[in-house]
């Protein structure tokens, strides 16, 4: 209930049973208690999706339909993996969702040695809140605004309220906002370049090759799937435009 308006909350249920264990009549439970909980889920905008490992179950169908989720029954192992990967991507936001700017800090992990005369051991804010006995440490993530120390990221600073993250945390959501364009499929007979994949450096023997529209490098079908499903960036484009090295 205290989440920002631009966020979404989801529940993914992997269901393998054909029956439910209920203390009373299942039809009365669906009519009263079950739909009462559905109203609570809809009120806090929780989307429930179900992946069935056996046959379709009526309770799961109603649960997914009323909360705006999806319900699928797997066909085989590959279909199960496909359904799981489908839920990895965040759902598209509606045009009426609330948008707001969020101030963020990017602290670097500082490690001090015992030989450093200026090093001063200090407590972490997370250690002070836990029931465990706090300990003095030299290194950590220091808030760029109030200099409070934390052991891990992401976290919201308890002192100034600044959201502390690292660059890889933002990079995880970047490819969802700007997905990589599909490579151009070209028959191997018509391709005039080198017959070696830019990704795995193996000889391309399939009927088709896949060419990046930006760097014009060719990839095999396995590397094309890996680039679009897992890597989310073209190795050829990164190789031609390396990041500058700061001294």
Q: What pLDDT score does 247 carry?
A: 36
Residue 53: what pLDDT? 94
- Mean pLDDT over residues 103-117, rounded? 76
191 vs 128 pLDDT, higher one? 191
Same structural domain, 81 and 144: no
Report d(CA 122, CA 136) in Å as an integer.
5
Cα separation, 149 vs 158, whole angstroms: 10
99 has pLDDT over 60:
yes
Same-domain pairing of 66 and 25 = yes
Cis bond before residue 81 (omega within 30° of 0): no
Q: What is the pLDDT of residue 32?
A: 53
For residue range 211-247, what is the model confidence (pLDDT) as tens digits?
999 999 999 999 999 999 888 889 888 887 554 444 3
Tokens at 229, concatenated: 């499903």
Whether residues 15 and 79 share a domain: the answer is yes
The whole-angstrom separation of Cα 105 and Cα 207 is 49
Instruction: Give the model's pLDDT for residue 144.
Output: 92
Residue 29: which domain range? Answer: 9-86
Over residues 190-204, the mean pLDDT reads: 90
Whether pLDDT at 122 is above 80: no
pLDDT of amino acid 233: 86
Average pLDDT for the chain = 80
Q: What is the bridge-based pairing of β-strands 9-15 and 140-142?
A: unpaired
Give a yes or no: residue 142 inside a domain: yes
The structural domain count of the chain equals: 3
Look at residue 91 and tell me if it is in a domain.
no
Q: SS3 for the chain, per residue? A: CCCCCCCCEEEEEEECCCCCCCCCCHHHHHHHHHHHHHHHHHHCCEEEEEEECCCCCHHHHHHHHHHCCCEEECCCHHHHHHHHHHCCCCCCCCCCCCCCCCCEECCCEECCCCCCCCCCCECCHHHHHCCCCCCCECCEEECCCCCCEECCCCEECCCCCCEECCHHHHHHHHHHHCCCCCCEEEECCCCCCCCECCCCCCECCCCEEEECCCCCCEECHHHHHHHHHHHCCCHHHHHHCCCCCCC
pLDDT at 69: 87
Q: Are residues 184 and 173 in the same domain?
A: no
What's the pLDDT score for residue 210?
Answer: 95
Q: Are 134 and 122 in contact (CB under 8 A)?
A: no
Q: Is the pLDDT of residue 194 over 90?
A: no
* End position of a domain, from candidates 54, 86, 118: 86
**Spatial distance between the Cα atoms of 91 and 171, rounded to a whole number of angstroms:** 17
What is the CATH number for 60?
Answer: 3.40.50.410
| Residue 51 within any structural domain of the chain | yes
* 94 within some domain: no
Within this chain, do residues 54 and 15 fall inside the same structural domain, yes or no?
Answer: yes
The answer to the question of residue 3 being in a domain is: no
Determine, yes or no, domain membership for 145.
Answer: yes
185, 157: one domain: no
Asked whether residue 30 carries a pLDDT value surpassing 50, the answer given is no
Nearest alpha-carbon partner for 214 in 200, 235, 195:
235
Confidence label for 78 from pLDDT (cuts 50, 70 and 90): very high
Judge whether 12 and 49 are in contact, CB under 8 Å.
Answer: yes
Q: Are residues 108 and 171 in the same domain?
A: yes
Question: For residue 82, is it within any domain?
Answer: yes
Mean pLDDT of the 99-107 span: 83
Task: Walk across the sheet containing 104-105 and list its strands.
Answer: 104-105, 163-164, 155-156
Domain termination site, one of 160, 178, 196: 178
7-21, 89-103, 181-195: lowest mean pLDDT where? 89-103
Is the same domain home to 17 and 82? yes
Torsion of Cα atoms, 193 then 197 then 199 then 201, to 10°: -120
For residue 185, pLDDT beyond 90:
yes
pLDDT greater at residue 122 or residue 212? 212
Same domain, 109 and 169: yes
Which CATH number fits the domain that encloses residue 218? 3.30.40.10
Give the residue, 90 or 13, on which the prediction is more confident.
13
The reply to whether 148 and 206 lie within a common domain is no
Q: What is the share, in percent, of the chain residues with pLDDT greater than 70?
A: 76
Domain assignment present for residue 73? The answer is yes
User: Would the pLDDT of 132 be above 90?
Assistant: no
Identify the domain boundary among 155, 178, 201.
Answer: 178
Tell me: the pLDDT tens digits for 42-69? 566 778 899 999 999 988 888 888 778 8
Write down the pTM of the prediction: 0.53
């Amino acid at each position: 209930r205290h989440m920002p308006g631009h966020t979404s909350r989801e529940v993914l249920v992997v269901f393998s049973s054909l029956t439910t264990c209920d203390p009373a009549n299942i039809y009365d439970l669906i009519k009263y208690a079950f739909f009462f909980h559905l109203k609570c889920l809809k009120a806090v905008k929780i989307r429930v999706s179900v992946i069935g490992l056996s046959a379709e179950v009526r309770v799961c169908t109603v649960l997914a339909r009323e909360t705006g989720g999806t319900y699928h029954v797997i066909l085989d192992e590959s279909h199960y993996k496909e359904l799981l990967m489908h839920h990895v991507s965040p759902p598209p936001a509606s045009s009426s969702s609330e948008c707001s700017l969020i101030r963020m800090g990017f602290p670097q992990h500082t490690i001090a040695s015992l030989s450093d005369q200026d090093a001063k051991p200090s407590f972490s804010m997370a250690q002070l809140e836990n029931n465990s006995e706090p300990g003095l440490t030299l290194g950590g993530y220091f808030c760029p605004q109030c200099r409070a120390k934390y052991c891990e990221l992401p976290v919201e600073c308890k002192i100034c309220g600044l959201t502390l993250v690292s660059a890889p945390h933002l990079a995880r959501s970047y490819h969802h906002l700007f997905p990589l364009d599909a490579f151009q499929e070209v028959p191997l007979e018509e391709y005039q370049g080198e017959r070696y994949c830019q990704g795995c450096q193996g000889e391309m023997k399939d009927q088709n090759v896949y060419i990046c529209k930006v760097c014009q490098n060719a990839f095999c079908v396995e590397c094309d799937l890996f680039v679009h499903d897992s890597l989310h960036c073209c190795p050829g484009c990164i190789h031609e435009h390396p990041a500058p090295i700061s001294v």
